[in-house]
Amino acid sequence: MLDGRDGKARQKAMELLVRYAEALGAERFVDTRNVAGVPGSANPFLQNYYRDKGTDERDAIFSYFDLDADELLDVPQALVPTYHLQGGADPTAWQTLGVKVEVFRSYQEREAFAAAHDVGILKTCTPYLTGNVPAKGEHLAWMESSAVIYANSVLGARTNTEGRESTSAAMLTGKIPDWGLHRTEHRYGTHRIEVEIPVDSVMDWGMLGYFVGDVVQERIPVLRGTSRRPDIVRLKHFGAAASSSGGVEMYHIVGVTPEAETIELAFGPRQPVETFAYGGAERRRVYDLLNANASDPAVDFVMLGCPHAALEQLQEAARLLDGKKVSSSCQLWIFTSRTVKGLAREAGITKTLSDAGAVLLTDTCSAFAQTVPPGTKVAALDSAKQAHYLPAILGVQAWFGSTADCINAALTGRWSPEGI
């Protein structure tokens, strides 16, 4: 591909991957047939920057930004199965998100560009909940830190945290540098986490993840002592939190995750560098840290669905909201994927939610779209990841608590959590 025999765009994609591999110190590539990225997408800045720089046949954003090329290219179809992660705005409720019509039209054009190049339009940060469930040992080129940590740790697939440019290059080449988590010797644990208290609720798994990411940063923690087996939603929240407070891309939970049947298998030939205990004091510290940006109990916005809600989370929200009304002083937005929204609609959940005044949205989230309802000063969130990002991005206060705490805040307009 480097010699240009497969066309200029694949050549440029391969050149970018070679520069990237050299930067990493990787000596070869692995083949991948599973790419998840955001090919050709554009926020308003990029839309404006590349306006009038392309032609009908040659896409400026994909050429210059995705492939970091210095020339306009004819972009061929994806060479291997490729999926689009979150981005843009809900096609049925973009006005709710405060998106201007010209920006939304551009989102639609970018989505059409991806679809026309054989990219599956999942539009979610949770591809593993919507049909792209990699097999153990499969090599992937995935973006989205919460999806990467899930694929590596829960599914036993192999991917580094790829970026916009490397996933778009992989889409055209089916190659990605053979480095880091693609290699068995780099998948063993480095740090031991002794969990000394019961960790049960989704909120608790989120807090544990936030603690773990903070203490191990980008290394590989091995957790021991978790009493109850976590389900998909708990693992989703744990991983999203650990990849936000730190850069964790892989973890092991002894007896739970596929490469950690025993603690010996989890560490392989390595000795733990350090051991951290997670007890009551640590839990308290994480809770306080996640609530450090909030002081005003008058909540005017509640956001759920980070990462995008699974069907059972929408069922839970519907149970808590059934027959009730969101306070007139508050708005409740719940984000999910188009796929799960379809399932929710068939189950009658979307009607329960809308009857209660909740707004179910797809494709994005408040942090990603950088949008909250106009006038929002104080938000309530049930995701440690969202609580990490939203105050930094939008300068709002953010409370962190359980899903029930958040829905209670939406119904009353007041933050009065059960606490911990």
110 neighbors 65 (Cβ within 8 angstroms): no
Under rule CB under 8 A, residue 273 binds another protein: no
Please report, as a single letter, which amino acid is at residue 389: Y
In whole angstroms, the minimum distance from the beta carbon of 145 to another protein comes to 5
Under rule CB under 8 A, residue 259 binds another protein: no
Q: Which residues between 299 and 358 bind another protein (CB under 8 A)?
A: none
219-258 mask for another protein (x: CB under 8 A)?
A: ------------------------xx-xx-----------
113 neighbors 62 (Cβ within 8 angstroms): yes
Q: Which residues between 33 and 62 bind another protein (CB under 8 A)?
A: 45-46, 49
Q: How far is CA 318 from CA 12, 99, 110, 414, in A?
A: 49, 27, 33, 20
How many alpha carbons lie under 13 Å from residue 368 in its C-beta half-sphere? 25
Binding residues for another protein, rule CB under 8 A, total 41
Under rule CB under 8 A, residue 414 binds another protein: no
For another protein, the binding residue among 165, 204, 363, 382 (CB under 8 A) is 165
The one segment of 14-22, 310-318, 326-334, 400-408 that binds another protein by CB under 8 A: 14-22
- The CA distance from 128 to 111, in Å, is 20
3-state secondary structure 215-264: HHCCCCEEEECCCCCCCHHHHHHHHHHHHHHCCCCCCEECCCCCCCCCHH
In whole angstroms, the minimum distance from the beta carbon of 57 to another protein comes to 23
For another protein, the binding residue among 90, 162, 316, 363 (CB under 8 A) is 162
**Per-residue b or e along 275-286, where b marks 16 or more CB atoms closer than 10 Å to that residue's CB:** ebebeeebbeeb
Quickly count: other Cβ atoms within 10 Å of residue 100's Cβ: 11
In whole angstroms, the minimum distance from the beta carbon of 327 to another protein comes to 27
- The CA distance from 323 to 339, in Å, is 25
For another protein, the binding residue among 33, 54, 68, 412 (CB under 8 A) is 68
Residues interacting with another protein, by CB under 8 A?
Answer: 16, 19-20, 22-25, 45-46, 49, 65, 68, 142-145, 148, 160-166, 177, 179-180, 217-218, 243-244, 246-247, 289, 293, 367, 388-389, 391-393
